[in-house]
């Protein structure tokens, strides 16, 4: 972490601040927040700049404010890159479905910036082989595609409500403006809207219908999850309609008794 310390030292000198100046400014920040952990003593700052000592999260915040730099930039100097959030999310598999807000901190994303001229969007293809070059694009440039009407959810590894249409571990995009149950005669199960529902004990994604003041949570016929009836607004609330899915195939399936059963490949590579 010596390199991070050198960068911080360079910032301090660039701004014409002395170690005592930093001590005084951090003291004011600590006083404002009522927390001495924000304060940085001269000896501690010297250790951070010259000995590779890693500051705690409070002092990193103080330094970002004093040096007028984005907190996320300072975190990257210490090996914490918030733009790696999406990749790290796959390493944790919460058992319950929930709303995901961890991607809110992402400021840049790798996107395809050049495709093979022979790419034909009408044909199924290996997209990875069609991409000639990837590029890091600040999300600010993608703001024209942003919409506040969307929220994002995660299907828990133990939530088989819509199996096999929605596999456990899937990420879903939800249109929050479509939060009313649409009734109709659907031509297939893929045409029927799936809704993200918030309940008292968590979340689930499922088909829905209304019966008086009750919301009927209808699972897929192949799912081991039973039909549920909950009081609308009091016991359950529709957050919106699922309009996008990102999921891995073949990861798991429910056993006859409804318990989680991993694929054979995953069982061999997993813990005993």
Domains and CATH numbers, the chain: 2-77 (1.10.260.40), 86-92+103-145 (no CATH), 150-269 (2.10.109.10)
Q: What are the backbone dihedrals phi and psi of residue 216, each rounded to the nearest 5 degrees, phi first?
A: -95, 120
Give the chain's end-to-end CA distance (angstroms, integer): 38
**Per-residue pLDDT tens for 21-32?**
999 999 999 999
* SS (HEC) of 58-90: HHHHHHHHHCCCCHHHHHHHCCCCHHHHHHHHC
Res 100: pLDDT: 73
Enter the pTM of the model.
Answer: 0.58
Q: What is the pLDDT of residue 50?
A: 95
Which pLDDT tens digit goes with each residue over 129-151? 556 665 655 555 555 455 567 88
Measuring CA to CA, how many Å separate 85 from each of 77, 100, 110, 172? 16, 11, 12, 16
Residue 175 neighbours by CB distance under 10 Å: 19
For residue 45, the model assigns a pLDDT of 97
- pLDDT reported for residue 51: 94
> What is the pLDDT, as a whole number, of residue 235?
95
Q: In this predicted structure, what is the pLDDT of residue 97?
A: 78
Whole-number pLDDT of residue 210: 94
> 24-59 b/e with 16+ CB inside 10 Å = b?
ebbbebbeeeeeeebbbeeebbeebbeeebebeebb
Alpha-carbon distance of 245 to 38, in angstroms, equals: 42
- Which pLDDT score is estimated for 177? 92
Residue ranges of the chain with pLDDT lower than 50? 124, 127, 144, 258, 262-272
State percent of the chain over pLDDT 90. Answer: 52
């Amino acid at each position: 972490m010596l390199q991070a310390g050198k960068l911080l030292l360079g910032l301090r000198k660039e701004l014409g601040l002395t170690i005592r100046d930093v001590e005084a400014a951090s003291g004011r920040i600590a006083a404002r927040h009522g927390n001495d952990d924000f304060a940085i003593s001269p000896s501690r700052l010297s250790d951070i700049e010259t000995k590779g000592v890693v500051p705690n999260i409070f002092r990193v915040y103080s330094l970002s404010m004093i040096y007028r730099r984005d907190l996320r930039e300072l975190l990257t100097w210490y090996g914490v890159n918030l733009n790696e959030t999406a990749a790290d999310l796959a390493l944790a598999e919460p058992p319950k479905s929930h709303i995901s807000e961890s991607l809110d901190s992402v400021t840049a994303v790798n996107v395809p910036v050049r495709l093979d001229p022979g790419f034909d969007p009408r044909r199924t293809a290996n997209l990875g082989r069609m991409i000639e070059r990837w590029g890091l694009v600040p999300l600010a440039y993608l703001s024209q595609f942003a919409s506040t009407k969307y929220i994002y959810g995660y299907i828990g590894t133990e939530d088989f409500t819509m199996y096999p249409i929605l596999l456990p571990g899937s990420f879903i995009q939800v249109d929050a403006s479509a939060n009313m149950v649409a009734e109709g005669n659907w031509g297939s199960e893929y045409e029927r809207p799936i809704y993200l529902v918030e309940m008292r004990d968590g979340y689930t994604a499922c088909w829905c219908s209304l019966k008086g003041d009750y919301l009927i949570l209808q699972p897929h016929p192949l799912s081991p999850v039973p039909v549920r009836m909950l009081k609308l607004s009091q016991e359950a609330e529709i957050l919106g309609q699922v309009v996008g899915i990102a999921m891995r195939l073949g990861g798991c399936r429910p056993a006859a008794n409804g318990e989680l059963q991993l694929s054979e490949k995953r069982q061999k590579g997993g813990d005993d």
